[in-house]
């Protein structure tokens, strides 16, 4: 993994219903650009809880050249598609990922492709599950994938994701890793040595990462 993945969920009490806590079983992943050339992932996370933010809009994950931050749990909905709150709307069925425009955009785009490839593999999905903001409400977004009336960048991004999914990046199968981790957990419980416990936890997370799963 060439970026850091963090969970930093906004509070349920965040104003303007930005985290509505409505259960979601996602069926797609929707990509956006932040439309802010100077913003970073942490800036975007901070904006969600800023007192000066009076918008309802929100998103699940934001990614830049260094990190990806999960702002809303992936089993809750966010308001990112502009298509209302119907049960089949993008807002109620799709995980929203914001791609920052600042810094090394090529690196950010590569991080986004790696993140999306990992998420698709975890769920047993293919690139046909990917959506643009455009697909839900006809907003030209992700705007940096749109080129003079054509979605050239979108096609290229999906190709990047496909190549990453076909690579040997995730050598271990998740189901095999999940059979190994209980043995590490048993060793963790059996010792009271703090350093040994830290090492068992580290090894378990390394196995999770190697199989495309989230750290715990």
pLDDT of 136 over the 90 cut: yes
| Spatial distance between the Cα atoms of 57 and 47, rounded to a whole number of angstroms | 11
Please count the other Cβ atoms lying within 10 Å of the Cβ belonging to residue 76: 17
pLDDT (mean) for 137-153 = 96
pLDDT category at 95 given cuts 50, 70, 90 is very high
Specify the CATH number for 4-166; select among 3.30.70.380, 3.30.1130.10, 3.40.50.620, 3.40.80.10: 3.40.80.10
In this prediction, residues 91-97 reach a mean pLDDT of 98
User: Of the ranges 69-73, 130-134, 194-198, which one carries the lowest mean pLDDT score?
Assistant: 194-198
Query: Are the beta carbons of 98 and 32 closer than 8 angstroms?
Result: yes
Higher pLDDT, 170 or 34: 34
What is the pLDDT confidence band of residue 82, given thresholds at 50, 70 and 90? very high
String of DSSP letters for 38-102: T--HHHHHHHHT-TT-------SEEE-SSEEEE-S-TTB--S-SSS-S-TTSHHHHEEEEEEP-S
pLDDT surpasses 70 at 50: yes
Determine the pLDDT at residue 21: 97
What are the sequence ranges of the domains in the chain? 4-166, 174-210
The predicted pLDDT at position 215 comes to 81
Express each pLDDT in 157-180 by its tens digit. 999 999 999 885 555 777 788 889
Q: What pTM was estimated for this model as a whole? A: 0.79
Q: What is the pLDDT of residue 168?
A: 57
In sequence order, the 6+-apart residues with CB closer than 8 A to the CB of 77 are: 20, 22, 23, 24, 91, 92
> Residue 1 pLDDT more than 90?
no
């Amino acid at each position: 993994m060439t970026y850091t993945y963090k969970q930093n969920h906004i509070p349920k009490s965040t104003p303007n219903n930005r985290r509505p806590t409505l259960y979601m079983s996602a069926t797609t992943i929707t990509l956006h650009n932040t439309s802010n050339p100077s913003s970073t992932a942490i800036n975007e996370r901070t904006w969600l809880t800023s007192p000066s933010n009076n918008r309802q809009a929100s998103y699940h994950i934001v990614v830049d050249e260094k990190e990806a931050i999960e702002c809303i749990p992936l089993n809750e909905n966010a308001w990112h598609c502009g298509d209302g709150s119907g049960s089949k709307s993008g807002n109620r069925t799709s995980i929203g990922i914001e791609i920052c425009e600042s810094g090394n955009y090529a690196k950010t785009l590569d991080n986004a492709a790696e993140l999306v490839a990992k998420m698709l593999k975890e769920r047993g999905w293919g690139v046909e599950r990917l959506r643009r903001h455009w697909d839900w409400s006809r907003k030209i977004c992700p705007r940096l994938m749109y080129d003079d009336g054509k979605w050239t960048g979108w096609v290229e991004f999906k190709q990047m994701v496909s190549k990453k999914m076909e690579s040997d990046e995730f050598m271990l199968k998740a189901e095999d890793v999940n059979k190994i981790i209980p043995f590490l957990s048993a060793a963790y419980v059996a010792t009271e040595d703090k350093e040994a416990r830290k090492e068992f936890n580290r090894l378990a997370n390394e196995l999770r990462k190697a199989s495309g799963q989230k750290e715990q």
